[in-house]
Structure formats: structure tokens, C-alpha cells
Structure 1
Amino acid sequence: GFGQARMGDRRREHGGWTAGAQGLRMRLAGAPDAVWRDEAGLRGEFRLREGETHDLVLELSSGRETEPLDADALWRATEQEWRRAVPDCSRLVAPRDARHAYAVLHGLTSVSGGMVAAATTSLPERANSGRNYDYRYAWLRDQCYAALAVAAHGPHPLVDDAVRFVAERILADGDRVRPAYTVDGRPVGKERSLRLPGYPGGNDHVGNDAGAQFQLDTFGEALQLFAAAAAHDRLTDEAERAAAVAVDVVERQWLKPEAGLWELEDRWWTHSRLSVVCGLRRMAEVLPGAAGRRCADLADTVLRETRRRCLHADGRWRRAEDDDGPEAALLVPMARGCTFGDDGDAATRAYVESRLSEDGYLYRFEHPGVPLGEAEGAFLLCGFAMALATHRVGDRVNAFRWFERTRAACGPTGLFAEEYDVRQRQLRGNLPQAFVHAMLLECSVRLAGESALP
């Protein structure tokens, strides 16, 4: 683990340094005069005159690479790779931000296909509250959100990466699928401290307790992803088998309480069931014969019981079977174009807006006895979901209002965190947050009328 192994086998080679520890190999070029001291590590000093530049190239790998670390060649290759990875977005709303979102999502994706939820750990959501977490893991749901956004634009390689990674996890783990994994598909360890100082207002954490939860909506989003892949003729045999396993798991598990999107206590969360209904319906549209009919029938069964348990007398969806409160997560299935009969969708959207919006931003749910904005920041995922749900009902003006207000909540780098403190105009929590950039991209596609998906 971190800080438990020292670099050994230290050598000066070809004008640079090499060393290794626990299966990792380090190469450093550009510091030929640096000195390695046992008590202080590798130390060097550079003096540059005004206008001068100097390149340092650090490589960490699991193999013994032999290619020279030529800075100029590496810069050129890097620029070419990023140009190749980011497609043309000129026909989309906010094309520069859409391209930036593509770049962020690509950068958060590993060679194994897993996409981390964010690149950082332990940046506090609220100072001195203990709410700082490690997001450097691949949440299956978050990656599905990202891939669905990309698939709306077209069959980009990020869709293939997500299909492969999610399918592998479902086939390997079935009913034991966890919300999050390491980027190479291993289990996520429990939260622990490294005894480092941490960011001001927080303390350091590695690991995440969500790795031991069960979240039903993960399967709903996975089924939507597989259906989107099928629409682009990118559904592999492995992914089709994974879809069948996901349907089996839903059939066995949908009546049981689970942790839900926000990773809270196990309850009968409405959003989880509606996500599953949406996923089953999408698969029913692309699977032929008995397999498609099975998905459609199961979707009807889940929806019927969810309506019985979770539909409020005034026609809107309740947050959970035992909770009448507003819940912004309910906007996500609506943003995906899933409708559930009667006027429940419109009533829910209106109720969420009336109770959870403030100053043009949207919060995820109410904290009893605490005004909006005091317990936590606005959730940017929810603001973009509201833009999409509003666009679905033909209210283009207000859809753009939600989109523009929410996309303004970034720093100078154009990166989004999960939360935004509206009053202090500050990002809260880890960044860049993959599913926020994903929802911005999906808004850019759908608000421009350029979606390749329903």
C-alpha cells in the first residue's frame, strides 16, 4: 500500500534515473545531475533564465519500457492522441464545452476500460464535516451515464470501453456486483486513513465503503447502456450475455431494499425501480422474441408494484416507499425519455423544482430542518438532469436556462465537481466529476437536436 515500500534498484542510465518497487518501474529523464539520498529521495536543482524551458519526463509503468523518453516526441504524440480522442462537436450546443467534456471523460478512462468517478481523493464537500471521500474508482453507474451521453452523440470508443468493462463485472459477479471497482476490476477496499495532513477542512481517505453496497439502479443503467450499444450495432456477444445476467439479477433482487443512487441506508428507493424499468424497456426494444418479451413483462411488473408503493395521492412520485419528500434523482429516468403513465412525471418535475431549486441551481433532496445550501451544495448532475427532463416536454427556453446556469458552475479550468456552493460560488468535493461532465455532454447533444438515441 501507499508509503509502505521504498524504491530500490536505483540506477543512472542513459542520462536519467530508473528505480522500482512492488512491480512498478520508474524512469526519469531530464535530471542527469540529480542525486539520490536515502533519507530524502531524488533531489536536483535547476536554474532557468527568463524565456528558457526545461523538460522533465517521469514514467511509471508495470513493465520495463525501453523507448527513449524524448520530450519533444512525447509532446507531439500526446497532442496527436488527444486530437484523435476528441470528436468534432461543432453541431452541438456549447461545442467547446462538449469537446472539453469528451477530453475529461477520455482522461478519466484507464487502458482496461474502467472510468474513475473523479481523479482526486479527500477534497471535502463541507469543511470539517467528515464528508470527504476517495472517488478514484470506477462506479459502474457513473460510467454508464458517461457512455449513454457519448452514445447519444455517436459510436465513440468510450462506449466500447464502458460496454466491455461493465459487461465483465456483471458476468464475473452477478448478484454480487458492487457499485464501484478499481479501474482494473478488483474490489474496492474499505475506507482508511494514510495519516497525511489532507486538504484544509478535510482529512485523507483511501478506499470507499460503497464498494460493499448493493445498488439496484446499477443494473438499470447497465441495461440502458447495452441497449444503446445495440442501437449502434456495438453490442458484443459478451455484453448480450451480461444483459441476460442483469435481467436475472433484477428479477431476483428488485423487491429487496438497497442503497440507491446516493449510497444511503437500504430502503425501497423509487428512483432505483424506475431506472430498472427504463433499462428493461430499452432492452425490450432491441432484443428479439422471448428475450424481449421477458424484459417488457418484467418492466410492467416492477412499474406496477412501484406505482402501488411509491406514487403519492397527488400523482407525483415519492422519494421512497416510506418517504414523501422530493428527490431530484427521479429526473434521471425522465431525462432518458422514459415515461410511466398518467401525469406523474410532470407532477414530479414540478414538485422537485418547487422544493429543491434555489437561485437557478438544484439540490438532490431535503435535509430535515436544514435550509437548502446549508447541509450541502447544489448537485450539478441534478441541474443537468432537470435541463434534459425539461427539454423532453418541449420547454426549450427553460431547458436552456437550466443548462446555462448549471454549466456556469465551474472553475477557471472548466472542470466540474459534484457539488457547487451557490452562496460562496465554490466547487465542493472531488474533481473532475465524470458524471457531471457526462450530463453536460448529453445536454449539448440533445438540446442541439443531434441525438442518435431516442
Structure 2
Amino acid sequence: MVLLRQLVAVDGPARVRVMLDVRAGFGRHPAADLHRTESGWRGASGSVRWHWAGLPDARPDGDGRLVAELTVPAGGRHDLVLAMGEAVTGAPDATTCWRRTEDAWRSDGLSPNTIAERDVRHAHAVLRGMSTADGGMVAAATASLPERAEAGRNYDYRYVWIRDQAMTAQAAATGANSLLDGATRFLTARLLDHGDQLSPAYTVDGDSVPAQRHLGLPGYPGGSDVVGNRARQQFQLDVFGEALLALGAAERAGRLDAAGRKAIEVAAEAIERRWQEPDAGIWELDPRRWTHSRLICAAGLRAVRGIGDRWAGLADALVTDAATWGTHPSGRWQRAADDPTLDAALVIAGIRGATPVGDPRDLATLQAYVARLTCDGFAFRFEHEGRALGEAEGAFLLCGFMLAIAVHQHGDTQAAVRWFERNRTACGPAGLFSEEYDVAQRQLRGNLPQAFVHGALMEAAAVLSRPAAADPLRPDPVGLDTTG
């Protein structure tokens, strides 16, 4: 890994104090084995070797840190290069690194034809920064930032969730080819390796996520020091449907190879074998026969019908089965046979094509969701018994952007744009989104940046730039705007 920093004296000369403090193992291993080199310093921290170039006059401070002071003349620039790894022998040339970095960003070819073009480019940059060369994209770049203070809801999201990767791939299919290709490679490899035993999440190298544990270090205020994740132990049926949706999007974009087509067969066969089992579902809850899991698998099977026509019957069977126990007496979808409540995931399933455009259950679900699970222009996942919206958890920004897409698909573009604009305000000063947003306190909640939120913004911006499909069967889009 190489980190680049450049000091620029914009207005007059700049006197700068620089400190390097490398501590691997969550701060347990200060720098050791320090040696001055011709261009800077080299050292070690735990198993990590590093080489720092750009300040050969830096000096150790006695506690593993290197400190230096320098003056950058007016209009001048000064480069710092830190190379880290288990076999680092030196730091690369700064000029070469900058040129390669700039060339790589320019080569992506993203030309968004969307609303909110600047935000789309920013989201795209964030997602590329969260992706490895092999395509794995972490769900978030941080761990243990609490969603609620002292509530035990802080997690480690520095792993690749199959669902999140697949959702982002569908967003990338709007023109971000490098993201789409990387996601396709990662999903294909995991499906071919593990088949119907696909894990919900992996490390960026495709290995198993470590067991959840505490480090014995101070956590963020209101949280604790959690690393690893319990999702590794779960069966989540819906990830097969999401993977099919992503691979189908890659095929339609002309970017799926033979291995990807084989992965489609593997995912479809996994659904065929396991669709009647209880699963943890999209929100990683106790095992149940979740309606969304069956519907999203049906949507995935329909998305690849041009590649595997034999799966159309299975998709129909999934929807028919879900309808027998997952239809609420009011005519909308409900979460599970024993849970008649609403869920944002059921709106997402409607977007993805589990049922035909104009299905009255989808519109009834959308209208009920807007009426009961939105507040002040923001959307929530599901109802928490006995607790008001925003009390148990924050608004879920993924759901807000997906809601904008759903409302647009049902013909109310004006309301859709309002949902979109409201949710894209819920970012920090750096333009980064977390998973949740506290509407009352106007604060980000949980880890950030959250990949699938940035992906959802990209997808919604692309969808809303196109006219809503004119379909004579599309129901009247009444009751889909409560933003104002």
C-alpha cells in the first residue's frame, strides 16, 4: 500500500510540522527498527514494514514517532510517500505515483448522464476508494462507530458483504464500468468457490470474516471496540437473488464472461435447493421465511432469464409461495407469515422486478410504506414495536434513495425527486453518507462511508434522469409524496 501526501503553499511560504506515527494492531505496536535512508526513514510496526520518503531530516521522538519541520516556499510543493506492507523494500518515486494515480482516475471513463452529476462523481470516487484491485468493496471503511449510544449497536463493516457488493454493482451498471467489472469478478469467484454455501460476507481477499470480538481498547463515545462480524455464521437467502441481479446487469452491459455465466447457474441452483429454508434476511435478523428473501430471489431469476430460461418457472413458484403467506389482508406485502408489518425491503423487491409493473400488491405496499414508515422526507427500515420512528434507530438512507426510485417507477417523478433531494442532504461536510441518519438531531449514525448508500445515490440519480415509463397498467401514483 502506498499513501501519497502533497504540501502546497498556496498563499506565501508555509512553515509545517509533520509527524509520522505508525502503530499496527490497533495501536499496540509502535514503530521500531528505525533506520535513516537516503530519501527518508524505514521501520517496522508488528509484521508491517514501511518506508517513508520525503523528509530525511525527520527525527525520532523516543516513542516511535518521527517528527520534522519544513518550510514550503510560496507556490511550492513538497511530496511525502509512505509505502507499507510485509515485504516493502523502499518507497516509490512520488512523481511516478501521482502520474499513475491521475491516469487511473481518468481512465475509468465515467460520463454520468444523470441528475446531481457532481454528487454522482463524488460517490463514484468514494466507491472506487473502498474497492481493492481484485474488485472486493468493503461495506464501510470504519468499525465500531455506534448507531445508538450505549445500545450495543456498533459493528465492524470493513468486509465485503455480498448483498452490498451486488447492490453497488447494479448502480455501477449505469456507466461505472470499473466498479461493475470488479464487483462481477468478486461475486463470480465467491459463487464458484462456495456455491450454495455462499457466506453473506468475506474479507477483501475472499477469506472468511473473523469471529466478532472485543479488542480491550477504548471505543468511540457511546460505542465499544468491536471487530469481526457475526454475519459470517448466517444463511441469507436473499444474497443469491442480489448476486443474480448484479450478474444480469453485467450481462446486459456486455461485460459478463463465461465464468460469470457459470456463476449464474450456481446461484440459481442454490436458490432451487435452499429457497424453502428459513434465513436471516436482508437485515440479518433471526431465521424466518422472510417475504423479501423469496421475492428478491424471484427478481434475480427473472433478471437472468435471457441466460437461463429454465429458471422462469422457479421465479413464478417463489412469488406464488410468498403470496400465499406473505400477502396482508389489505392487499400489500407483509414481512413474514407471522409478521404482518411493513418493511422497506418489500419496496426494494418491487423495484427489482419480482412482479410485473403495475402489480397492485407493490403499489399498496409502497403507499402504506410512505404513510407509516417515513418522516420529514426520510425513510425507515421497519417498525419497532412500541417505539416511535427515529427512537429505536435512525432513518436508513439506502431506503430513502430506493424509495425515490420506486416512486419514480410508479409515475410520480416530481415526488421522486423530492425524496431524492431530501436524502442527499443527509451527508457530512466531506460528502460522505453513513448507514443511518438521526432526523431529530441531524447527525450521521454508524460506520461511514457506507458503500450501498453511495451506490443507491448513483442509481437513483441515473433512474430519475429518465422519464418514468408510460404504462397503461401503471396504477395512479396517489399518496407517494409526504416530503413537504
Q: Provide TM-score, normalisation by structure 1.
A: 0.92
Instruction: Tell me the CA shift for residue 410 of structure 1.
Output: 0.7
Specify the alignment match of 2:100 in structure 1. Answer: 77
2:442 counterpart of 1:421? no
Instruction: Tell me the CA shift for residue 363 of structure 1.
Output: 0.5
Counterpart Cα distance in 2 of 1:424 and 1:7: 40
Aligned to 2:227, what secondary structure does the other structure show?
A: coil
More strand by share: 2
- Greater relative contact order structure (CA < 8 Å, 6+ sep): 1
- The one-letter code sitting in structure 1 at the alignment partner of 2:369 is V
1:120-199 superposed matches below 5 A: 120-151=142-173, 153-154=174-175, 156-199=177-220
- The one-letter code sitting in structure 2 at the alignment partner of 1:327 is D
Specify the alignment match of 1:201 in structure 2. Answer: 222
Picking from 263, 287, 302, the partner of 1:281 is: 302
2:66 counterpart of 1:43? yes
Instruction: Tell me the CA shift for residue 199 of structure 1.
Output: 1.2
Please say if residues 155 and 232 of structure 1, whose CA atoms lie closer than 8 Å, have aligned partners that are also in contact.
no
Specify the alignment match of 1:101 in structure 2. Answer: 123
Aligned to 1:82, what secondary structure does the other structure show?
A: helix
Q: 1:425 to 1:86 in 2, by over 3 A?
A: farther
2:412 counterpart of 1:391? no
Counterpart Cα distance in 1 of 2:249 and 2:70: 54
2:265 counterpart of 1:244? yes
1:262-411 superposed matches below 5 A: 262-284=283-305, 286-287=306-307, 291-293=308-310, 295-339=311-355, 342-411=359-428
RMSD, matched Cα: 2.2
- The one-letter code sitting in structure 2 at the alignment partner of 1:432 is P
Q: 1:279 to 1:155 in 2, by over 3 A?
A: same
Q: String of CA shifts for 1:289-320, please: whole Å, max 9, x gaps.
A: xx412x10110111111111111122100011
Counterpart Cα distance in 1 of 2:467 and 2:38: 52
Counterpart Cα distance in 1 of 2:215 and 2:71: 36
Specify the alignment match of 2:451 in structure 1. Answer: 434
Counterpart Cα distance in 2 of 1:34 and 1:251: 62
Counterpart Cα distance in 2 of 1:196 and 1:122: 11
Instruction: Tell me the CA shift for residue 198 of structure 1.
Output: 1.7
Q: String of CA shifts for 1:196-253, please: whole Å, max 9, x gaps.
A: 2121111111111112211111000101111111112222111111111111111111
Sequence identity percentage: 50
Q: Provide TM-score, normalisation by structure 2.
A: 0.86
Instruction: Tell me the CA shift for residue 77 of structure 1.
Output: 3.4
Q: How many residues align?
A: 442
Q: String of CA shifts for 1:64-102, please: whole Å, max 9, x gaps.
A: 3556342x443343333323336122x311000011111
- The one-letter code sitting in structure 1 at the alignment partner of 2:35 is R
Aligned to 2:68, what secondary structure does the other structure show?
A: coil
Specify the alignment match of 2:111 in structure 1. Answer: 88
Deviates more, 1:118-127 or 1:155-164: 155-164
Aligned to 1:116, what secondary structure does the other structure show?
A: coil
Specify the alignment match of 2:20 in structure 1. Answer: none
Specify the alignment match of 1:448 in structure 2. Answer: 465
Please say if residues 53 and 91 of structure 2, whose CA atoms lie closer than 8 Å, have aligned partners that are also in contact.
no
Please say if residues 34 and 42 of structure 1, whose CA atoms lie closer than 8 Å, have aligned partners that are also in contact.
no
Deviates more, 1:92-101 or 1:44-53: 44-53
Aligned to 1:17, what secondary structure does the other structure show?
A: strand
Counterpart Cα distance in 2 of 1:156 and 1:369: 45
Aligned to 1:382, what secondary structure does the other structure show?
A: helix
More helix by share: 1
Counterpart Cα distance in 1 of 2:324 and 2:408: 28
Q: Which runs of 5+ in 1 are unaligned?
A: none
Q: Which runs of 5+ in 2 are unaligned?
A: 1-24, 469-484
